[in-house]
Amino acid sequence: MTNIKSIYLHVPFCTNICNYCDFCKMYYNDKFFELYYLKLLEEIKKYKVYLNNTFKTIYIGGGSPSSIGINNLEKILKILDLKKEDDYEYTVELMPLDITEDLLKLLRKYGVNRVSIGVETINKKYQKLFNREIDKEVLTSKINLTKKYFNNINLDLMYAFKDQTIKELEDDINYILSFDIEHISTYSLILENNTYLKYSNYKEIDDSISSQMYFYVKQKLESIGYKHYELSNYAKNKVSKHNLVYWNNEEYLGLGLSASGYIGDIRYTNTRNLDKYPLNIENERLNKKDKMTYFMILGLRKIEGINIKEFEKLFNKNIYM
């Protein structure tokens, strides 16, 4: 049997929908959550055999997992109260306004040892544009409160907005750096289909300016000791083990609406339709050539590139032939 060691679980609920987001999400309400939870339990029955494994990474993403309230979040955490390796990584994504002492205590109770917080920008102009306004002082207090409970924190930074200046980007970076956190994820704004920004004819920034900002961020973070280990990610000492599961082409279990997984010879994706969930809408059976292709493509996300020795070990083939 395949020894799955990583799980991703998707929580598709938000109390606020960001104007750039194309992830599977819906406004939270009790009725929808109860339906979703029952369907999630139904899906888990399919993969029950894997839940006796010892896991090295667990990741709860969304949506906004923290938006469903403490009682409902505890239901999700109980599902993932599994055996873990000694040096496991267990991440939950949080929206800043959801953070409370009770929430952080609950996460610690169930073994969560890493959190990811969406800061994106502190610029009021862009916050309003993206429909994610938060007062800077409130945001600061939420992050500082989180630091009392967690020493492995990721903060998200977004950049390359229309008309954004390097000075505005620098202000955002300096704000994030003021917390002296372990990990920073950086994303340039991309106009995705089925988002408010796309429908409103928002214009993307010029590629040359976006590239300039990318290298500005890279130089800034590397100059103070952050390691650029993957296209969008920087870490002091603790890289995201879960993200590297993807980029190293390792198998993982994907649970929840729209979640993807990779088990044995199958890559699968769940439907985004709550009524049809837990139906898979895609099941791709991989042959050896497919697996080699995924290994190459995903490996190129890493700054160190493709591990040639690992390729030859896995596929018994010279990478250059």
DSSP string, 243-308: HHHHHTT--BEEESTT-EEEETTEEEEE-S-TTTTT-EEEEEE--HHHHHHHHHHHHTTBTT---H
Using pLDDT thresholds of 50, 70 and 90, give the confidence band for residue 142: very high
Q: How far apart are CA 24 and CA 13, in angstroms?
A: 9
Write the CB contacts of 271 (distance below 8 Å, at least 6 apart in sequence): 257, 258, 277, 278, 279, 280, 281
| Predicted local confidence at residue 18, as pLDDT | 84
pLDDT (tens digit, 9 = 90+) per residue, 205-264? 899 999 999 999 999 999 999 999 999 999 999 999 999 999 999 999 999 999 999 999
The 8-class DSSP code of residue 52 comes to: G
Using pLDDT thresholds of 50, 70 and 90, give the confidence band for residue 198: confident
What percentage of the chain exceeds 70 in pLDDT? 100
Q: How far apart are CA 280 and CA 262, in angstroms?
A: 13
Q: Which residues pair with 10 in a beta bridge?
A: 61
| Predicted local confidence at residue 27, as pLDDT | 85
Q: How far apart are CA 196 and CA 200, in angstroms?
A: 6
Two structure tokens written together for 59: 């990741």
| Least confident stretch, 22-36, 79-93, 117-131, 151-165 | 22-36
| Predicted local confidence at residue 316, as pLDDT | 93
pLDDT value at 190 more than 90:
no
pLDDT value at 321 more than 80:
no
What percentage of the chain exceeds 90 in pLDDT? 86
pLDDT (tens digit, 9 = 90+) per residue, 55-80? 999 999 999 999 999 999 999 999 99
Using pLDDT thresholds of 50, 70 and 90, give the confidence band for residue 17: confident
pLDDT value at 19 more than 90:
no
What is the pTM for the complete model shown? 0.95
| Predicted local confidence at residue 123, as pLDDT | 97
pLDDT value at 164 more than 80:
yes
Q: Give the mean model confidence (pLDDT) for residues 43-66.
A: 96
User: Chain-wide mean pLDDT for the chain?
Assistant: 94
